[in-house]
Structure 1
């Protein structure tokens, strides 16, 4: 069952909200009648939607258009700072779910918005803060932390097996053998249904699993080996290539 939350935007275009979650917390399936930008200051948030899984690392955010059914799962201590946004506040707000980079400016604007009054004068600083937040949201760069879910049952079953055994090699030949089809046919269906090659989907699934485990405080070497990387350095190189920073530094101060 999916519940719907309703917000009033009589006096302002967005409603800021701060909430801290403990490790293991979750929220069941629900939706909002407004758009939502959930920004995580610390910890990792997993957001499930009908189109797949979205993982929000610390310092990033997830954009959810109005009316998107979703559930949340929390790993680590999560300090969430959320904006509930009137979908009519801007004509060109993002139309699809996406993990986004939160700039230092937007982060500070979100924190500042938590202290603003609900009503304000036209042309005031408070109004300019709200309007600048909306301007920043329109230019948020999307990040590859989405794990799309295929539509067909055979491919969904294969993806479940990969997630449950992320440390295996999972070559395209092995996956094709599991489904009893050729490698070319598997890749064609996978690309069509997810927008990713099977190899890229596996790589992304491992990264998202790594983020979840690292947020729990598991050692980098253990995560690397259990997810099929041959060494600490190989895993760190992959992590740095995608995240721009080593895993130990990334979670040092989350």
Structure 2
């Protein structure tokens, strides 16, 4: 089903609801939650997903697993999504926190095909017995099998929930300045540099400098769709395109040039 409201279908007895949605560039789905578990797949574009304790930058052909009743918001950058809304009982293995995942080719094609299933499959008794019949039932069952096999993608940035680090981190994500230092963060947080380093590492598992470096790499992902590696590396404060490419490839397992839009 395409561009259909979840609210109109959520009460269906069908355990898996596939809904594809086209979003205008920059569209913000502000803080909200779903009763069902959600697979949010970016067929195109880039999604910026946030929860209270983390942020994920999700390029095309990747997805996020969102647990039921998890507050989140999503910025859509020229995105078409293929979502699945799944009754929690159908996926007892679902993660308890958000997780970005790679989507292998078979699952990718299944998600695309599921988006074209007609609404009658949902409203005829809630058992996928309508116009799409056994094919729909088999397709959705196979999607759940393949979903359990997906691997986590390294697209997560932890965000401490408590001040002062929450404010420092969200401000940096909005304006990632390579010139920011630990001394500046310590002054903003009204603490010494050593205390900042120790408490920040306890909250995130990373040093402040390593966190900022990872944040800049994640910010690069949507920029790379329409700009060159040289342009992005310069904007984010890298000494050279080669240095940026090395850091990006080491962090994400692929060269930044692979994200260039066709």
- Using structure 1 for the length normalisation, give the TM-score: 0.85
2:252 corresponding residue in structure 1: 243
Question: CA shift at 1:251, angstroms?
Answer: 2.1
- Using structure 2 for the length normalisation, give the TM-score: 0.83
Aligned length: 246
Aligned-partner Cα distance in 1 for 2:237–2:184: 15
Question: CA shift at 1:19, angstroms?
Answer: 1.1
- Runs (4+) off by over 4 Å: none
Aligned-partner Cα distance in 1 for 2:11–2:235: 47
Question: CA shift at 1:114, angstroms?
Answer: 2.4
Structure 2 stretches of 5 or more lacking a match?
Answer: 1-5, 123-127
Q: Which string of whole-angstrom CA distances, capped at 9 and with x for unpartnered residues, describes residues 155-201 of structure 1? A: 22332453355232444455335545344322221122223332331
1:56 corresponding residue in structure 2: 58
Q: Which string of whole-angstrom CA distances, capped at 9 and with x for unpartnered residues, describes residues 114-161 of structure 1? A: 23433239x945433222211222232222322222133222233245
Question: CA shift at 1:25, angstroms?
Answer: 1.5
Aligned-partner Cα distance in 1 for 2:186–2:261: 40
Q: Contact 2:46–2:57 (CA<8 Å) still a contact in 1?
A: yes
C-alpha RMSD over aligned residues:
2.5
Among 157, 175, 180, which residue is 1:147 paired with? 157
Structure 1 stretches of 5 or more lacking a match?
Answer: none
Question: What does 1:100-249 correspond to in 2, within 5 Å?
Answer: 100-116=101-117, 117-118=121-122, 119-120=128-129, 124-215=134-225, 217-249=226-258
